[in-house]
């Protein structure tokens, strides 16, 4: 599920903190170009790279004045003052290789990732739907390394990639929904939401979601607080 408009701004602020106007930025996995547009607004020279042509077509309209290229985050070209990886590392095949490439072409590397499930209100959507879904199979520890939501793992990957970690900061980003429909609409269109509504009926699902989110009421709508981590690093000398 994507967040409501504007949710990324606290993250973008941290990713660009202290980066002087006129600096060059490679926005790896730029998607539809929302961060690229934000960086342009800060007077930066932005190149966006993504493996998805359709995302690039949207980005070209979202961030007029940035340069966009089709490419693979595992193999970067050029030289940039900053390589930004905004919500990308969890989506690539080999995050270590991507960080190594970022360290090779960037003077600074800043990368963001979700916090742990229990650190974000977004988990409440799952909790609200759980009574309508089949029981989850008993959780076994997954094989392989822990995910990037674990800050120790994030730091370790940066070390392995040859980066010197300047900071691994926590950024809380409010997700604001203006009313009940804005909160529930996207949920009911998701696969799990449709499954639950087919099983129990949309009225029951709606009531359960509103009850779960009642403590997050904010004015006429709702405010969820979600935690992200921002890695701030530079190539080790």
Does position 86 bind ligand SAM by CB under 6 A? yes
How is residue 114 written in tokens?
Answer: 């979700």
Helices marked H in 42-129: 53-62, 95-105, 123-129
CA–CA dist 14, 18 (Å, integer): 9
Nearer to ligand SAM, 55 or 224 (CB): 55
Does position 74 bind ligand SAM by CB under 6 A? yes
- What pairs with residue 173 in β-bridges? 226
CA–CA dist 95, 91 (Å, integer): 8
Q: Select the residue interacting with ligand SAM from 15, 25, 26, 30 (CB under 6 A).
A: 30
Q: Cα dist. 166→19, 156, 170 in Å?
A: 14, 13, 13
Using the rule CB under 6 A, give the single segment among 84-92, 114-122, 125-133, 223-231 that binds ligand SAM. Answer: 84-92
The DSSP annotation for 208-227 comes to HHHHHHGGGEETTEEEEEEE
CA–CA dist 223, 213 (Å, integer): 9
Name 142's Cβ contacts closer than 8 Å, sequence gap at least 6: none
C-beta of 204: minimal distance to ligand SAM in Å?
31
The site string for ligand SAM over 166-205 (x = CB under 6 A, - otherwise) reads ----------------------------------------
Q: Select the residue interacting with ligand SAM from 16, 23, 25, 29 (CB under 6 A).
A: 29
Q: Select the residue interacting with ligand SAM from 3, 7, 10, 52 (CB under 6 A).
A: 52
Does position 216 bind ligand SAM by CB under 6 A? no
Residues between 148 and 167 with contacts to ligand SAM, criterion CB under 6 A: none
Does position 48 bind ligand SAM by CB under 6 A? no
Residues in contact with ligand SAM by CB under 6 A are 29-31, 34-35, 50-52, 55, 72-74, 86-88, 91-92
């Amino acid at each position: 599920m994507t967040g409501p408009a504007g949710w990324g701004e606290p993250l973008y602020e941290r990713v660009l903190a202290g980066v002087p106007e006129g600096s060059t930025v490679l926005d790896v996995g730029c998607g539809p170009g929302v961060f690229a547009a934000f960086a342009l607004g800060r007077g930066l020279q932005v190149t966006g790279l993504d493996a998805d042509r359709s995302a690039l077509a949207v980005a070209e309209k979202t961030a007029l004045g940035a340069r966009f290229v089709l490419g693979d985050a595992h193999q970067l070209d050029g030289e940039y003052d900053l390589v930004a990886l905004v919500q990308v590392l969890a989506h690539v095949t080999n995050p270590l290789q991507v960080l190594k490439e970022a360290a090779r072409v960037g003077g600074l590397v800043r990368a963001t990732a979700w916090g742990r499930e229990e650190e974000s209100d977004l988990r409440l959507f799952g909790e609200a739907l759980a009574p309508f879904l089949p029981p989850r199979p008993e959780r076994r520890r997954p094989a392989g390394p822990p995910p990037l939501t674990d800050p120790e793992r994030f730091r370790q990957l940066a070390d392995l990639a040859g980066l010197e970690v300047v900071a691994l900061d926590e950024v809380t980003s409010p997700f604001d929904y203006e009313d009940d429909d804005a909160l529930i609409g996207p949920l009911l269109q998701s696969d799990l939401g449709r499954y639950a509504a087919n099983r129990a009926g949309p009225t029951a699902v709606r009531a359960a979601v509103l009850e779960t989110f009642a403590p997050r009421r904010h004015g006429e709508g709702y405010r969820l607080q979600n935690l992200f981590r921002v890695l701030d690093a530079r190539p080790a000398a």
